[in-house]
Amino acid sequence: MWDPTQYTRFRDERKRPFFELLSRVDAESPSHVADLGCGTGDLTRVLSERWPQAQVVGVDSSVEMVEEARRRPASATVRFEVGDLADWRPERPLDVLVSNAALHWLPDHATLMGRLVAKLAPSAVLAFQVPANFEAPSHRLVDEARALPRFASKLAPVRRRPVETLERYEALLSDAGLSVDAWETTYLHLLPGEDAVLQWLLGTTLRPVLAALGDEEGRAFVEELRPRLRQAYPAQARGTAFLFTRRFVVARRGG
């Protein structure tokens, strides 16, 4: 379902929130670090540069992403595993657990938070970032196209994203005994190229939709969406303006 080339097309825009998340992680010398939903592993390698003494594991359910991650050079302390975050278990409790732009693919975040906390060592840090732009025109237009009679029944099983509010994440993690730092940022991206917002969505949001529709219907879906997105996000000489909100949570166990 995942296509590493399409995903990395907007690499700089997608990378920045990770660094902003990481800048709030206060961990001196962790031994075991995991990057859940690591994709092509570029950011997993950054974790190993920040903590060169740590064993760092990147986990992703996409074989294509993990193969791409393994192809790229990395230090001997980094390894990549194919695994589903729904049931992945670390070999040892983790000192730092990072997840950038991945947890929104998993359902039921109340249960998920409990499962993530259970993987942590005492004093460990859990840090994640999830998109929160589900009310943006881009997502409303995807929903509008999903509801067209031609696509609706095939797309009914494709879930919408289960991201919680900052207050809810704070409450869930505080109740589990962690101290929480949570915030939200809206980025104004100026995306280069033609049909830039469509290209962005093709790297992420539309992956499960197109996988469910198959080739021919998938192409028809994209052609329904293209003019809607062009109208909502007109291209300008300096790029297509695309507002994108993300939620960030950094929580420390026993803090």
Ligand X SMILES: C[S@@+](CC[C@H](N)C(=O)[O-])C[C@H]1O[C@@H](n2cnc3c(N)ncnc32)[C@H](O)[C@@H]1O
131: nearest Cα among 226, 3, 236, 10: 10
134 binds ligand X, rule: CB under 6 A: no
Name the 3-class secondary structure at 43.
helix
Neighbouring residues of 27: CB distance < 8 A, sequence distance ≥ 6: 51, 95, 96, 124, 125
Question: Which one, 44 or 240, has the nearer CB to ligand X?
Answer: 44
Q: Minimum Å distance from CB 250 to ligand X?
A: 16
Nearer to ligand X, 11 or 150 (CB): 11
Report if residue 133 touches ligand X, rule: CB under 6 A: no
CA nearest neighbour of 141 among 213, 186, 205? 205
14 touching ligand X, by CB under 6 A: yes
Instruction: Supply φ then ψ for residue 188, to 5 degrees.
Output: -105, 105
Closest CA to 126 of 135, 116, 136: 116
Residue 129 beta carbon to ligand X: minimum distance, rounded to whole angstroms: 8
Name beta bridge partners: 129. 100, 248
Collapsed DSSP state (helix, strand, coil) of residue 124: strand
Closest distance to ligand X from the beta carbon of 177 (Å): 25
Least distance (Å) from ligand X to the CB of residue 70? 14
Closest-CB residue for ligand X?
Answer: 39
Which segment (31-39, 72-80, 140-148, 165-173) binds ligand X by CB under 6 A?
31-39
Site for ligand X in 68-127 (CB under 6 A): 84-86, 100-102, 105-106
Greatest distance between any 2 Cα atoms in the chain: 55
Could you tell me which of 90, 93, 88, 89 has the C-alpha nearest to residue 122?
93
- Applying CB under 6 A, among 204, 226, 235, 239 the residue interacting with ligand X is 204
Stretch of residues binding ligand X (CB under 6 A), selected from 20-28, 37-45, 155-163, 170-178: 37-45
What is the contact surface with ligand X in residues (CB under 6 A)? Answer: 2, 14, 18, 37-39, 43, 60-62, 65, 84-86, 100-102, 105-106, 204
